[in-house]
Amino acid sequence: MKYGVVTFTMIRRCEKLTKKLQKIKCDLEFLRCYLIYNLIPKFIRFKIPKPTSKSKQQLINFQRHYLQQEFNDHYKHYCKLEKEIEPIFKDLETKIELNDYLNIKKFMYDVAKTEHLRITMIHERKLEKLNNGPIGQQYDKMSTKLVHIITHHINLLQHKNDY
């Protein structure tokens, strides 16, 4: 080993923290989607024995509050992980050569990218299942419609000038 056991354990610790950080980032985005689209995740759902309109509204308010609290807790955990990983990278930068440090940074980026893709696919599947369809706007499918709408408006303007 070129740098020793301590440096190797720092790199492994950094890899684990990078994965956790990406998981938390994706979870934050996932919870944000729930809040934006007023969806209730399965981990918050429960039934009231004899629901009334007032108790239903209270339940919805409680679920929304709980979801917001979950989002805030995840954000605090995200900040904590950020503060934990930053000094490790600074320490690695001083202990190893620049070329090796850049390779480690690239490796961490690749690990984060892989983890992000894996978790995003899982979350998209869950959101689509819960919403009974896709969430948000899918811009890749909208591009042809946008061109059609613009050309339609141009044609209308040209015909208006003819009158």
Which tens digits make up the pLDDT trace of 38-83?
888 877 776 777 777 777 888 888 888 999 999 999 999 999 999 9
Mean pLDDT of 77-99: 93
Asked whether the beta carbons of 116 and 25 are under 8 A apart, the reply is: yes
d(CA 138, CA 140): 6
The amino acid present at 29, given as its one-letter code, is E
